[in-house]
Amino acid sequence: MTYRLGVDLGTTFSAAAVVTDARATSVGLGNQSHVIPSVVGLDEQNGIIVGESAERQARVDPTASAREFKRRIGDTTPYLIRGTPFSPEALTGHLLHWIVQRVSQIEGEAPSGIRLTHPANWGPYQKDILGEAARLIGLSDISFMSEPEAAAVHYATMERIPDGAVVAIYDLGGGTFDASVLRREGGGFRTLGKPEGIARLGGIDFDEAVFAHVTRSLGDAWHSLDITSSASLAALARLRRDCVAAKEDLSSRSTTSIDALLPGLNAEIRLTRAEFESMITLPIQETIASLERAIASAEITPADIHNVLLVGGSSRVPLVSQMVSAALGRPVALDAHPKYAVSLGAAIALDIERSASHADFSTIDIDQDERADISTAFSDPAGPTAQQRQAEALRVPLAPAAPAPTVLTPTIIEPEPEVLSLEPDPAPTPAPEEPRARVFPSTTLATVFLVLGLLALAALIAWWVLVGPPQGVPVEQFSLGLHSSPPGS
C-alpha cells in the first residue's frame, strides 16, 4: 500500500511518520518509544549500530559512538569512533538509512516519497549536504521543508486555522532553536519575514547546566576524581542520564535529587525547580529575543499573531510557556507530544502535495485510535465529536498572568503524559536548610583516627611540661627529649 514518509532527524532524538489513505500515523522506531536516540556507533565487529543499540553501547564505552552530529553538519572535522573517522553527514546518512529501512520493514514496502525536515535557519550549503547524504545511501525521491513549517502543518490538522491567520513557531529541541512566522494561505503556509534561530542552544544545554550544578556541589571530591578511568567514564555517563531525568522530573515536582555514584564517592545532590529555572532563564530569554526578531522581520506585531505554537521536547519545561506568553501577550499552544509534531507535519504536507483526492489539511486524519480522550471537558451527555474535542482542547483564554498552554493530541501509541500546571507551587513550610551534598569518601574514617591520635599526643606533651612525670617512675621511661639531666645527678 502506497504511503508517504516524513522524517525528523533531531539533534538528540529522531522520529518518523507515515500517511496512508489520508491517515497520518507516528511510526514506532524504538522498542520502548516511537523516537530513537540520534546516536550512531560501531559494535565490536565494527558494524554500524543506530539508536537504542548505540545508546546502550555508549553506557559501557562512550568512545564507541557519536551523538549530536546534527549540530556539526558542514563541519569538516570528523568524529572518531573506535579509531575510524566519520563526517557528520556520513553519520546522518547512516541514521537516515536505518530509519527508512525500519519503516519499510514495518510497512512491508518502501515509501513512495520521503520528506526530510531541517532547521529554519539552514542555508543552501547545509541543505545540499543533507541531500547528498541521502543520495549516498541510495535515496532519490527526497524533498525538504523547514521544521517550523512542518510543525505548523501538523497544527493545522488539529485546529482550524482561518485563511490569512498568522502563527508563530517556537521550536526548542534538543540541540537547536528555531523561530518562524507563517501565514495560512489556501492549502498551505507561507513563511513571513526571515526565520531566526540559535544553532547551539537546546535541551542538552539545560542538561549540562544540571550536570554543572552537581559538580559544583561535590566540590573538592569532584576535583580529586580520576575521570580518565573506564569505571569513571561509565559512572559519568550514568550520572549525566540521571541529570536528564532530574530535569524532566522538575517539570512536575518542585524538588528532586540526583545520586552521584562515582568511584570512591557517594553523594546525594538536591535540586529545586527554582534553582533549575535560575540556570535556564537567560537562555530562554535569548530564544524569546530570537522569536521577537522573526516577528519584527515579518513586519507584524505580537497582537497580529493567532497563536504561538511550542514545538520540540524542551518546550515542555514549564518556564518556557510562562516566559513566552508573558513576553508576547499571546496564548500559547503546547503539543502534548512535541517530539512527533514535525515528522507528522512533514508526512502530511508531502501527501497533500502528491494526492489528487485531498488538497487541504482538514482532509487528513490523525489516527483516532491514538488520540487521548478529553471528553470529560464537555458537559454534553451525548459526547463530543473528535473534531469538537480537538477544538475545545485548543481554546485558551488570555489572562493578565501567563496562561496555561494548550495541549494538542497528535498521533502516538504511548500514553499521554500528564498536563503540567503552570501555577506556582504553594509556599513550603520553612525548614532548616539541608546540606546540598552529603559526601562520604572512603578515606574519611582513617583521617578521623589520625587527628584523634595527634590530639592525644599533644595532650601528653603538655601534661609532661606543666606537671612532670608521675611520682615513683624513672624519668628515663618518660623522656621525650624535652628535659635532660647530666649523668649521675
13 in Cβ contact with 203 (< 8 Å): no
Residue 428 confidence (pLDDT): 44
Shortest CA distance to 74 belongs to which of 117, 116, 133?
A: 133
Separation between Cα atoms, residue 118 and residue 58, nearest integer Å = 26
* Maximum Cα–Cα distance across the chain: 124
According to DSSP, the β-strands at 406-408 and 166-172 are unpaired
Q: How many Cα atoms sit within 13 Å of 189 on the Cβ side?
A: 31
Secondary structure of 347-389 as H, E, C letters = HHHHHHHHCCCCCCHHHCEECHHHCCCCHHHCCCCCCCCHHHH
| All domains of the chain in start order, with CATH | 4-202+278-408 (3.30.420.40)
C-alpha cell at 389: 474535542
Could you identify the residue written with the cell 524542551? Answer: 314
Q: What SS3 state is found at 325? A: helix
φ, ψ for residue 406 (rounded to 5)? Answer: -70, 145
DSSP line for 194-261? EEEEETT-SHHHHHHHHHHHHHHHHTHHHHTS-TTSHHHHHHHHHHHHHHHHHHHHTTT-SEEEEEEE
Q: Cα 148 from chain centroid? A: 18
According to DSSP, the β-strands at 114-118 and 166-172 are unpaired
DSSP line for 289-323? HHHHHHHHHTT--GGGEEEEEEESGGGGSHHHHHH
* Residues 6 or more apart whose Cβ sits within 8 Å of residue 406: 307, 331, 332, 333, 334, 393, 394, 395, 396
335 in Cβ contact with 307 (< 8 Å): no
Cα angle: 321, vertex 246, 444; to 5 degrees: 145
235 in Cβ contact with 290 (< 8 Å): no
Helix and strand counts by DSSP (H, E) for the chain: 12, 20
Separation between Cα atoms, residue 192 and residue 202, nearest integer Å = 24
Residue 360 confidence (pLDDT): 53
Shortest CA distance to 19 belongs to which of 372, 341, 364?
A: 364
How does pLDDT run along the chain (489 residues), one tens digit per residue?
789 999 999 999 999 999 998 889 999 998 888 899 999 999 989 999 999 999 988 888 888 999 999 989 888 899 999 999 999 999 999 999 999 999 999 999 999 999 999 988 888 898 999 998 898 888 888 999 999 889 889 888 888 888 899 999 999 988 889 999 999 987 788 899 999 989 888 999 999 999 999 999 998 888 888 877 878 888 888 899 999 999 999 988 999 999 998 888 888 999 999 999 999 999 999 999 999 999 999 999 999 999 899 988 888 899 999 999 999 999 898 876 678 889 999 999 999 888 755 555 554 555 543 443 222 222 232 333 333 333 333 322 223 333 444 444 333 333 333 333 334 444 444 444 444 444 444 445 556 567 677 777 777 777 666 766 655 545 444 444 444 444 444
C-alpha cell at 36: 530513537
Residue 274 confidence (pLDDT): 95
Residue 211 confidence (pLDDT): 95
Residue 40 confidence (pLDDT): 96
Residue 336 confidence (pLDDT): 65
* Residues 6 or more apart whose Cβ sits within 8 Å of residue 186: 163
Residue 158 confidence (pLDDT): 81
pTM of the complete model: 0.70
Residue 61 confidence (pLDDT): 83
φ, ψ for residue 28 (rounded to 5)? Answer: -80, 95
